[in-house]
Structures are given as C-alpha cells and as structure tokens.
Amino acid sequence: MKCIQYSEHGGDYASTLQCIETEASPPHPPVNFALVKIHAAAGNPIDFKVAKGELNGAWDCPLPMIMGYDFSGVVVAVGEGSDGGFQVGDEVFAVTWGQGQHKPAQEGAIVGGAFADHITVPTTMLSKKPREISHEQAAAIALIGTTAHQALFNCLNVKEGDKLLILGGPTSVGSLAIQLAKNVGAWVATTSSSRNIDYVKSLQPDLIIDYRKEDWANHPSINGMDAVFDAVGEMGAFGKCIGEESKVIKKGGRFVSIANFDAGFDPKGHSPRLEFASFFGLSNSSAVQDKLAADLVDGRVKVDIDKTFEFSKDGAVEMMKYIESGKGRGKNVMKIVS
C-alpha cells in the first residue's frame, strides 16, 4: 500500500508531507463498504488549508491524515452481504467527506484518504463512473461539483429567472456554479481578474466584473440580487452585501460562502434582512454525483483539468504549492495509475 500523508500540520510541505509505502495488502472491506483501487485523485484548496492547520478548532482534523478528498477508480472488493449493487470491476468515483462537516460520513469511514493506491469507503458514498468520461474527469468534478450544486440549490435555492452573483468565476467551484446556474435559467454575474476573463467568457455568464478595476458592490447591475455565492473567500464580501447602505442583495435574499466564516454558521442568523446567510460545507451525495456525471456525458457542464501531478511526495508538494499560489484555474489531478 502507498499513500501521501502528514502527521503534523504546517506549511513547509517538503517537511510535513510523507510518502508511506508498506508491503501489506489492504484489508478486505466490511459489510456495506468497498475497496477501490484509485486511478486518479483531485487536489483542492481545502487540502493545503487543512494541511497547514488553518481549520484546526473549526473542523475535526485528525492526525495522521491521508490527503485528498475526491477520487475515481475501480472496485476490487466488496464486503460480504453489502447492499448498493456494486461489484468487483465497477468503475466508481466519490468525494470522501462527512455530512456538512470535515469528518467521516459514518462509523468506520474516513475523511480524506484519496492520495493513495487504495481506499475503503461506504458503498453509499459511491457513484458509478460512466464509460464516456475519464477517471481524471470523474475525480475532478466530485468535490467541486457537489459543493457548487448543493450551495446553489440547497442553500441559495437558485431557479429560473433569479439574479445570482458568483464571486470567483475562474475558481474550480465558481466555474461549475456558473454552468449549473445557467442551466436552470438564472441570470449570472461573476467576478474575475483580466488574466482569466477569456476563460470565464467561455462559461457564458451574463456579466463579468474585473474586480481589480472596479468594486463589484458598486456596479450598477449588481443591485437587488436574489443570491450571492462567495466561491473564493473574498475578504469583506459579506459586509458589502449586508451593510446598511448596501443594495447588493434584495431584502429576504440569500448569501453563502464556502471559504469565509464572516456570515457565521446559522443560516437564519441574519433574518429578516436575509432569508439565508451562512458558511457552507458539503455533504457527500451519490445522487448529486450521479447528476454531475450525467451532465458531463451530455455536455451540459465541463470540468477543466489544469495540471496533472505524479503520485509521489514530490508530486504532492508541487501540487500543494501550485494550488496555494492561486495561479491555476480549473482542477489539478494526481494520476495514481499511470
């Protein structure tokens, strides 16, 4: 068995990240669990934030921690008596996350664990990978797609005709959110730097605001939004939306952030000014994963692979540094099986 893990938090990845290899075989999975041979795993900003210890105290961050949350691979064993219809040889993908929290989804499960050659996960977390999409695509969309989908439709209740502002259009989650919102008929504005505007244009939002040239909160079209989705963790964004003079969000509108705690954790904490306002953490959902995979096959959404990294300590260190630099766009994938 081989994995990338750390036993202490810190930002010196060359010192903290470890490549662990043993000659032991992975244990046979218990009932309602499957053992998956991982072919590809995706990197996300949450990887370096948890590794550095930035979320200690806010979330459960057990050590040692095997990195990586979303993966795609092939089932090599299923626990005797398991439900769920998965068989040896099935191509599957998933995001290993809890229910709204950074903790195992159920007893016996783990959080993370995708930067490894094998992973044991509950069958309820798995989705079958369509043959039309690659392991890299499936791994790349699991976490960001689930996050975008749940933020838009569970938290913000986005529907046809709504006016939506997405902060961070070029980000992996932001880019998926633009596509999903447009697919249901929402009017979508988003922010971007000039460096990424051509990429964001390809996603076909209705308005792109270069945040380095103007303040989106003062843009004449950003007035009376039904919802704002902060996909990038912009400092002070919530204050711009809820200040006494702000007209960004209409009364009774909604706000959600996946990267900033300014709105708090109580969705009703800013009522009646806002119907919903909160930080949001995803919940694993095979139903959402199934929908995302179908949208990929149908071409209703696309996921862009930025860079691919090798399955090694050096590859993991390079990946974390690159993601933390903020210079990339789209998804970064670690190729477990070459």
Reply yes or no on whether the pLDDT at 59 is more than 90.
Answer: no
Q: How confident is the model over 106-110, as a mean pLDDT?
A: 85
At 247-284, the pLDDT tens digits run 999 999 999 999 999 999 999 999 999 999 999 999 99
At 275-294, the pLDDT tens digits run 999 999 999 999 999 999 99
What percent of the chain has pLDDT above 90?
86
Residue-level pLDDT at 82:
83
Phi, then psi, of 247 in degrees rounded to 5: -120, 15
Name the average pLDDT for the chain.
94
Residue-level pLDDT at 297:
98
Residues in the chain: 338
Please report the sign of the dihedral spanned by the C-alpha atoms of residue 322, residue 292, residue 289, residue 145. positive
Residue-level pLDDT at 327:
79
Residue-level pLDDT at 127:
97
How many angstroms separate the Cα of 317 from the Cα of each of 50, 216, 304? 14, 35, 21
**In terms of DSSP bridges, do strands 207-210 and 187-192 run parallel, antiparallel, or are they unpaired?**
parallel
Burial of 251 (0-12, 13-18, 19+ CB in 10 A): exposed
Reply yes or no on whether the pLDDT at 25 is more than 80.
Answer: yes
SS3 246: coil
Calpha distance 246→224 (Å, rounded) = 9
Reply yes or no on whether the pLDDT at 62 is more than 90.
Answer: no
Reply yes or no on whether the pLDDT at 36 is more than 80.
Answer: yes
Reply yes or no on whether the pLDDT at 94 is more than 90.
Answer: yes
Contacts for 178-183: CB closer than 8 Å, 24+ residues apart: 178/203, 178/204, 178/205, 179/203, 179/300, 179/301, 179/302, 180/148, 180/149, 180/152, 180/153, 180/301, 181/152, 183/295, 183/300, 183/301
Q: How confident is the model over 133-153, as a mean pLDDT?
A: 97
Residue-level pLDDT at 40:
98
3-state helix, strand, coil in the chain (%, to 5): 25, 30, 45
At 127-141, the pLDDT tens digits run 999 999 999 999 999
Give residue 54's identity as a one-letter amino acid code: E
Residue-level pLDDT at 329:
77
Written as six digits, the tokens of 198 are 């051509």
Residue-level pLDDT at 104:
85
Residue-level pLDDT at 338:
74
Calpha distance 15→17 (Å, rounded) = 6
- Tell me how many helices (H) and strands (E) the chain has: 8, 16
Q: How confident is the model over 231-257, as a mean pLDDT?
A: 93
Residue-level pLDDT at 86:
94
Is there a contact between 177 and 227 (Cβ–Cβ < 8 Å)?
A: no
Reply yes or no on whether the pLDDT at 90 is more than 90.
Answer: yes
- Residue 143, Cβ neighbours under 10 Å: how many? 29
Calpha distance 185→145 (Å, rounded) = 18
What percent of the chain has pLDDT above 70?
100
Calpha distance 321→34 (Å, rounded) = 32
Confidence of residue 193 (pLDDT cuts 50, 70, 90): very high
Reply yes or no on whether the pLDDT at 34 is more than 90.
Answer: yes
- Residue by residue, DSSP assigns 221-233 as T-SSEEEEEESS-
Confidence of residue 57 (pLDDT cuts 50, 70, 90): confident
Most confident of 80-89, 106-115, 119-128: 119-128
Reply yes or no on whether the pLDDT at 68 is more than 90.
Answer: yes
